[in-house]
């Protein structure tokens, strides 16, 4: 099924297929943090994240969000549209956590007045710095029209994901998305949506460390990492997507 390896990232490998418009994305158990300074593996993460991302991509498609997802073809592999990935990581935050607390002195867990969109330059050598719309224009990472579309798309995804994760009794604190441009110039949600790329807090647990159900358990050495991913997988797959289409 898979052809030649096109690109190996920290969490996935992309392969060519017989169709130049379609790629195979293989999810790995590898986990990294802090620009790969911290490395490890999470047992079965590839299969869990592939299952979670497949389910969420299908849910978002049903809500009218265009994604690169075509179909899941094995427990840890999916076919995706071949797109040009913008060198911009788009982060949406509902609650202050992670880098925004360090950067702006906000308190962890503080609810934001409204969802906040941030852009980061996807560049490992520079450590993915925060960038403004003017930086994006200066570096030619996207056109001003694409930036406006990116923001709208990211906020739309946030809206639908919040509804989705609420059903899992998980609070969507923040998440990162990557966006691809297809041959027709359309923007598609690409990469993955998973506990690697979202902060998810268990709504039924009050303790600030115990409620963490995402890669922060790995980043902060909180233990019970695979258990948290298993629980998220169980709750995500239990959401009936057809009820939302």
Q: Give the interface with ligand TMP as residue ranges (CB under 6 A).
A: 91, 98-100, 128, 174-176, 197-199
SS3 46: helix
Backbone angles phi, psi at 217, to 5 degrees: -65, -35
Of the two residues 3 and 129, which places its CB atom closer to ligand TMP in the complex?
A: 129
Q: H helices of the chain, where?
A: 45-62, 99-104, 133-138, 144-167, 216-219, 225-237
List CB contacts of 243: < 8 A, sequence separation 6 or more.
none
User: Which residue has the CB atom at the shortest distance from ligand TMP?
Assistant: 98
Which residue in the set 35, 143, 186, 220 belongs to the binding site for ligand ASP (CB under 6 A)? 35
Distances (CA, A) of 123 to 89, 141, 167, 206: 10, 12, 35, 36
Of the two residues 17 and 32, which places its CB atom closer to ligand ASP in the complex?
A: 32
Cα–Cα distance between 22 and 81 in angstroms, integer?
A: 5
User: Which residue has the CB atom at the shortest distance from ligand ASP?
Assistant: 32
Does 122 help bind ligand ASP (rule: CB under 6 A)?
A: no
Task: Name the segment binding ligand ASP (CB under 6 A); options: 13-21, 32-40, 64-72, 109-117.
Answer: 32-40
Q: Which of residues 213-232 bind ligand ASP (CB under 6 A)?
A: 215, 219
Interface residues with ligand ASP (CB under 6 A) are 10, 32-36, 215, 219
């Amino acid at each position: 099924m898979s052809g030649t390896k096109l690109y190996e990232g920290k969490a996935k490998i992309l392969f060519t297929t017989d169709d130049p418009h379609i790629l195979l994305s293989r999810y790995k158990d590898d986990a990294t943090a802090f620009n790969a300074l911290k490395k490890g593996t999470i047992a079965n993460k590839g299969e869990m994240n592939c299952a979670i991302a497949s389910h969420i991509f299908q849910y978002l498609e049903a809500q009218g969000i265009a994604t690169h997802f075509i179909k899941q073809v094995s427990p840890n592999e999916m076919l995706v549209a071949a797109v040009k990935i913008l060198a911009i990581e788009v982060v949406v935050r509902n609650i202050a956590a992670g880098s925004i607390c360090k950067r702006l002195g906000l308190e962890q867990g503080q609810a934001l007045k409204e969802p906040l969109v941030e852009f980061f330059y996807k560049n490992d050598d520079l450590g993915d710095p925060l960038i403004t719309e003017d930086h994006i224009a200066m570096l030619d990472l996207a056109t001003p029209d694409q930036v406006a579309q990116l923001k709208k798309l990211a906020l739309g995804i946030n809206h639908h994901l919040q509804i989705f994760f609420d059903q899992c009794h998980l609070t969507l604190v923040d998440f990162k998305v990557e966006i691809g441009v297809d041959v027709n110039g359309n923007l598609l949600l690409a990469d993955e949506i998973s506990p690697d790329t979202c902060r998810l807090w268990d709504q039924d647990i009050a303790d600030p460390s115990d409620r963490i159900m995402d890669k922060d358990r790995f980043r902060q050495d909180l233990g019970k990492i695979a258990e948290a991913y298993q629980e998220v997988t169980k709750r995500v797959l239990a959401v009936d997507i057809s009820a939302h289409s």
